[in-house]
Amino acid sequence: MHNVRKVKTSEDKQRERLEQSKKKATEYIQLKDLFIQTREKEDYSMEALKLTSKLLNATADSYSLWNYRKKILLSLNETCPEARAERDKEELKWLESLLPVHPKSYWIWFHRKWIMMLSLTSHPQDQINWERELTLCTKALDADQRNFHCWNYRRFVANQLKVELNEELKYTLSKINQNFSNYSAWHQRSYLLQKIYLSDPSKFIHVLNNELDLVQNAFYTSPEDQSTWFYYRWLIGMFKKHNPDHFQELVTEELQKVNELLEEEPNSKWVILTTVFLMKEIQNSDVNVIKERIVKLQNIDQQRQNYYKDLLVKQF
């Protein structure tokens, strides 16, 4: 019929997508071949830099591209030092444009840190906008609270900015309260607690006791979340190391608490495994109970049969 708009069928759309994919693949192969030629010629020009940008926009995790890009930037810093500040600014802007598409790319975060570290050698500290970097991390962690590459970068930025460690500790708590299943936030918390309190053993023990209350609230809420149990094990290890005289008393009390949770969650892998962990720390524990619980773990978590067999061998 005339004047009637033709509606594309699913086959037409699929054919178009296939053609677009082929076109992109062809363009990428051509660019990659050009990159190889450029690298062989040891071309460290702005054109070479632009070439790596095009390729990395498509493939952000190519370490050879990132490494060559670093060589280009270092060369440009020597041959054209007067434009370095603007070049660094543009590099950070470009990296930021990649993050929404590749938020967990190790290479993007590592390269950003590399640029900032280079800036420390060429720009006065007060001319580097560390506050903006911290804001970038906050936004990235609002989008994905468990982005451990961003957590690592935030630790670097906070150190340069000389953020109060207690403020960062509060920040980790805010992220944990949003989502208990945030291993990166728990890990950052363990790092900060040692930095803040380890020089004062008595205060450290007091803080660890408060942390026990925090983590117990978390695993009572989400008993199947492994993040909280790993943190709990770290706390127990800190007590054993820094308060050995009262360790047996503490671990016995903790076993009682976790056993109470086990009554409510009799088939929870992490609860059972933690009781085994605690009983192994207690002198004169009932080995038969330990064995029974490991056997139960074998039944409910069959994908890790060999791990539990190894536990039995080591225990008995």
Q: Is residue 102 part of a domain?
A: yes
* Whether 104 and 204 share a structural domain: no
* Whether 272 and 259 share a structural domain: yes
State the Cα–Cα distance between residues 235 and 247, nearest whole angstrom: 12
Q: Is residue 108 part of a domain?
A: yes
CATH code at position 154:
1.25.40.120
Q: Which of 114, 132, 163 is where one domain is finished?
A: 163
Question: Of 273, 225, 282, which is closest to residue 253 (Cα–Cα)?
Answer: 282
pTM over 0.95: no
Structural domain containing residue 148: 26-163
State the Cα–Cα distance between residues 276 and 261, nearest whole angstrom: 14
Q: Output the tens digit of pLDDT for each of the chain's 316 residues.
A: 555 565 556 776 777 777 777 777 788 899 999 999 999 999 999 999 999 999 999 999 999 999 999 999 999 999 999 999 899 999 999 999 999 999 999 999 999 999 999 988 876 666 789 999 999 999 999 999 999 999 999 999 999 999 999 999 999 999 999 999 999 999 999 999 999 999 999 999 999 999 999 999 999 999 999 999 999 999 999 999 999 999 999 999 999 999 999 999 999 999 999 999 999 999 999 999 999 999 999 999 999 999 999 988 877 6
* Whether 155 and 176 share a structural domain: no
Which residues are within 8 A (CB) of 261 and not within 5 positions of it... i.e. 6 or more apart? 219, 220, 223, 268, 271
* Whether 128 and 174 share a structural domain: no
Q: Is residue 304 part of a domain?
A: no
Angle at 44 between CA 99 and CA 95, to 5 degrees: 10
* Whether 95 and 144 share a structural domain: yes
* H-state helical runs in the chain: 10-40, 46-58, 63-79, 84-98, 106-122, 130-143, 148-161, 165-178, 183-197, 201-221, 226-242, 247-264, 269-281, 287-300, 305-315
* Whether 123 and 184 share a structural domain: no
Q: Which of 135, 163, 191 is where one domain is finished?
A: 163
Q: Which of 118, 135, 163 is where one domain is finished?
A: 163
